[in-house]
Amino acid sequence: MKRMATKEGWKNVILVVLLVAAAFLIGRLSAQVEYLKGGANVAAVPTAAPQAQASKIDVAGLKKIASDVKLDVKKFESCLSSNKYEKKVKDDLAYAGTIGVSGTPTFFINGVMLVGAQPQSEFEKVIDAELKDGSGDKVLGLKSGGYVRGNKNAKIKLVEFSDFECPFCTRAYPIVQAILDKYGDKISLEYRHNPLNFHPNAQKAAEASECAGEQGKFWEMHDAIFKVQG
């Protein structure tokens, strides 16, 4: 009799365990059904990662800018694809390193170095001091080789080493324009290339400005490249 009771007891325990397991599985299935009814399956569908936005100054962008500034686009494209000015730009970059330029933008105001997108007031402090007491002799140590905007005989010679893809150079662009407007014939700007190697479009953008220069529109291309990113 004891054995019979023991067997019956174990059967009851097993039955209870099975019922609990069945209830758990039914609960899980019910929860999943309700989850799907609520539209969760839509959120579970993987979505494509957003594509990176194309640069405004990649080769296609540079060609568009060339058209916008009224260049002969066929001549421009031929110049750009030939890498005609690759060495000239790289020579500028190498020269910049020899005179202590390590970042962009870097400016020399009559030879006085000013680094970064400084506020206009910082430029004016140096310029006003040079206009008052400076001779401009310090600038003679800089080797010329870039395009010059303004009065080439101006007492204040501003030389800029810049990168068309550098966000700080883009930020400095309107400041430099304001300085040129304020000082007029008292100042000139010479632009030199310093494309940083981690900016993938900077080298080609620099070459593009030189190709535009062949058609007498270096400064138009220079301005348009910075403005399109501003």
Determine, yes or no, domain membership for 204: yes
Determine, yes or no, domain membership for 84: yes
Type of residue found at 50 = P
Q: What is the pLDDT of residue 77?
A: 98
Same domain, yes or no, for 150 and 83? yes
Q: What is the pLDDT of residue 138?
A: 62
Same domain, yes or no, for 29 and 113? no
Determine, yes or no, domain membership for 50: no
User: Residue 143: which domain range?
Assistant: 59-229
Distance (Å, rounded) from C-alpha 187 to C-alpha 125?
14
Give the contacts of 22 (CB within 8 A, at least 6 positions apart). Answer: none
Same domain, yes or no, for 157 and 212? yes
CATH classification of the domain holding 89: 3.40.30.10
Give Cα separations from 152 to 106, 179, 209 (angstroms).
20, 16, 20
Total number of domains in the chain? 2
Q: What is the pLDDT of residue 35?
A: 36
Tens-digit pLDDT profile for residues 33-82: 343 344 433 333 334 444 446 789 999 999 999 999 999 999 999 999 99
Helices (H), 40-85: 40-44, 59-68, 73-81
Average pLDDT, the chain: 83
Same domain, yes or no, for 176 and 71? yes
Determine, yes or no, domain membership for 53: no
Q: Which of 210, 92, 220, 213 is nearest to 160 (CA)?
A: 92
Average pLDDT, integer, range 209-223: 98
* pLDDT band at 156; cut points 50, 70, 90: very high
- Note if the pTM is more than 0.85: no
Determine, yes or no, domain membership for 34: yes
Q: What is the pLDDT of residue 6?
A: 54
Same domain, yes or no, for 40 and 91? no
Six token digits for residue 137: 């002799």
Tens-digit pLDDT profile for residues 99-140: 999 999 999 999 999 999 999 999 999 999 999 987 655 655
Q: In percent, how much of the chain has pLDDT > 90?
A: 69
Same domain, yes or no, for 154 and 177? yes
